[in-house]
């Protein structure tokens, strides 16, 4: 029987995950189909009941369900430490929740540079920032968190032994984990002056060139955009679900092709 996987969220119709994961299943010759399913917050419980009854083998979970889904699946240690679930997998007929968003942030950074002792500033203190903290904790990077609501930055920093700052200081790496460019690509959470000493600027927003990435490029920084986050978290999901190495090139070209069609 064809195995069913899906991304659930609200809204979810613009998700690139179906294109990415279906390309991978096809290439790996796995009889599986990945769908995008819109689930309203009030329907999440009923949907999870439906998932248990049907042949759903795994899920990606996106806004606004990343925390609420914890009521219906067993969160693993990573998801518990981050405080959010973006991936659900099935083992012995039971659903478990994990988180691969941290891989989406740390794997591209590791591929670009050595992180130990690097001065890293995380902008934001929401879900993406929490995943970044988990991933960076293990690398030995020197992390400072800045957030519009400073108390939240302090709370998150305390949890990981990082610093919190009300100003964005000189940093070798700046990661935009706020939703600012997502809502309006012409808005940036920081002034263009902050990139003076920046080696790498990473924006978790994908699909558009944001002011954040434009300013960073103009200052001479290497830019990593949210497409890398999408791909690297997706590679990790495929490996969790199938136990096979992800066909990375195939997944990347499928997503790029779809973005060309969309634009
Ligand atoms: P996600 O799961 O994508 O990280 P989230 O949990 O809703 O989304 O977090 C959004 C982040 O973007 C928060 O850090 C938020 O700051 P606050 O904690 O002060 O709300 C940040 N953010 C949203 N709009 C912002 C804005 N206009 N300027 C600066 N930061 C903003």
Ligand 1 atom with the smallest distance to the CA of 66 is: 2
Q: Which of 8-17, 47-56, 71-80 shows the lowest per-residue confidence on average (mean pLDDT)?
A: 47-56
Distance (angstroms) between ligand 1 centre and the Cα of 246 equals 31
Predicted pLDDT of residue 233: 98
Q: What are phi and psi of 172, to 5 degrees?
A: -80, -30
Answer whether 233's CB lies under 8 Å from 86's CB.
Answer: yes
Residue 76 has what DSSP assignment? Answer: -
Ligand 1 atom closest to the CA of 84, numbered from 1: 2
Please give the C-alpha separations between residue 70 and each of 95, 127, 195, in angstroms, as whole numbers. Answer: 10, 14, 38
Residue-wise pLDDT for 108-141, tens only, equals 999 999 999 999 999 999 999 999 999 999 999 9
Residue 255: pLDDT band (50, 70, 90) is very high
User: Whose alpha carbon is nearest atom 27 of ligand 1?
Assistant: 180
Is the pLDDT assigned to residue 263 strictly greater than 90?
A: no
CB atoms within 10 A of CB 228: 22
- DSSP reduced 3-state for 152: helix
| pLDDT one-digit tens code per residue, 11-30 | 999 999 999 999 999 999 99
Look up the pTM and report it: 0.95
* Among protein residues, the one whose CA lies closest to atom 6 of ligand 1: 126
Rounded CA-CA distance 95/84 in Å is: 15
Q: How far apart are CA 30 and CA 199, in angstroms?
A: 40
């Amino acid at each position: 029987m064809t195995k069913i996987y899906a991304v659930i969220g609200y809204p979810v119709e613009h998700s690139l995950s179906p294109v990415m994961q279906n390309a991978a299943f096809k290439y790996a010759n796995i009889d599986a189909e990945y769908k995008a399913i819109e689930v309203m917050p009030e329907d999440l419980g009923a949907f999870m009941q439906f998932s248990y009854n049907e042949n759903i083998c795994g899920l990606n979970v996106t806004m606004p369900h990343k925390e609420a889904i914890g009521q219906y699946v067993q969160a693993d240690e990573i998801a518990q430490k981050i405080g959010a679930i973006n991936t659900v997998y099935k083992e012995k007929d039971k659903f478990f929740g994990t988180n691969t968003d941290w891989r989406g942030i740390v794997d591209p950074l590791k591929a670009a540079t050595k992180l130990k002792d690097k001065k890293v500033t995380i902008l934001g203190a929401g879900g993406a920032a929490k995943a970044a903290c988990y991933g960076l904790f293990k690398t030995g990077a020197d992390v400072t968190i800045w957030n519009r609501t400073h108390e939240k930055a302090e709370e998150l920093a305390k949890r990981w032994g990082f610093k919190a700052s009300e100003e964005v200081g000189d940093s070798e790496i700046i990661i935009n984990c706020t939703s600012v460019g997502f809502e309006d690509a012409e808005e940036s959470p920081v002034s263009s002056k902050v990139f003076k000493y920046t080696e790498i600027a990473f924006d978790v927003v994908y699909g558009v060139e944001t002011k954040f990435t434009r300013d960073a490029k103009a200052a001479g920084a290497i830019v990593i955009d949210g497409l890398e986050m999408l791909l690297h978290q997706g590679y990790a999901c495929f490996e969790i679900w199938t136990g096979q190495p992800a066909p990375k090139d195939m997944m990347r070209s499928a997503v790029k092709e779809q973005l060309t069609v969309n634009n």
